């Protein structure tokens, strides 16, 4: 189990949900938490701002997300060390969030980052993938028609993926 107090000294958090794969806290104090505090405390391997009020911090054993939703700040951690049964070709979805226009999925994969990159070239060849290596073991794949971004981070025994896609009226959940 994760001990949050050790990571965020002056933050006051209230645990909302907990499972072996994830924990979620409502941030009581400070009223305006800053991502840089989370980045410094967690020693992020990769960080990314998804939207105005949503930030991600990938660490060696999972992914942190700081977000503002319904006038409250929330901190969520998804562990990549939990053994999952794969339900999607990319891996096991840890979380999927939807808005009217976008879908954000956090996926834990048993494949290496390079295996995912190699296979995605084959699987998505017709979608004109643009591939960038943004750091050692870190990749960004942008796909066209429909627009989709996939961030891949190599962890010690698995990979963590962040899949950000536009939703269309024909979007299916998870298997395309």
- The confidence score (pLDDT) of residue 105 equals 85
Instruction: For residue 104, give the nearest of 53, 150, 66 by alpha carbon.
Output: 150
Range with lowest mean pLDDT among 29-33, 52-56, 111-115, 140-144: 52-56
**pLDDT above 50 for 10:** yes
- The confidence score (pLDDT) of residue 121 equals 80
Instruction: For residue 134, give the nearest of 56, 67, 47, 17 by alpha carbon.
Output: 47
- The confidence score (pLDDT) of residue 4 equals 54
pLDDT band, residue 84 (cuts 50/70/90): low
Alpha-carbon distance values, 85 to 89, 108, 110, 154, 174 (Å):
11, 10, 10, 19, 15
Give CA angle at 74 (72, 80), nearest 5°: 165
Range with lowest mean pLDDT among 94-108, 144-158, 159-173: 159-173
């Amino acid at each position: 189990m994760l001990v949050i107090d050790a990571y965020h000294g002056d933050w006051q958090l209230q645990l909302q949900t907990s499972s072996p794969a994830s924990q979620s806290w409502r941030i009581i104090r400070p009223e305006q938490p800053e991502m840089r505090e989370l980045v410094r405390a967690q020693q992020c391997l990769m960080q990314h701002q998804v939207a105005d009020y949503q930030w991600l911090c990938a660490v060696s054993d999972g992914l942190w997300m700081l977000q503002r939703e319904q006038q409250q700040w929330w901190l969520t951690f998804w562990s990549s060390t939990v053994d999952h049964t794969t339900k999607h070709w990319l891996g096991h979805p840890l979380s999927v969030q939807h808005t009217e226009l976008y879908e954000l999925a956090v996926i834990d994969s048993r494949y290496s980052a390079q295996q995912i990159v190699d296979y995605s070239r084959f699987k998505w060849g017709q979608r004109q993938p643009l591939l960038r290596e943004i750091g050692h073991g870190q990749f960004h794949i942008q796909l066209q028609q429909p627009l989709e971004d996939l961030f891949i981070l190599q962890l010690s025994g698995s990979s963590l993926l962040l899949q950000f896609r536009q939703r269309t009226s024909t979007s299916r959940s998870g298997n395309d």
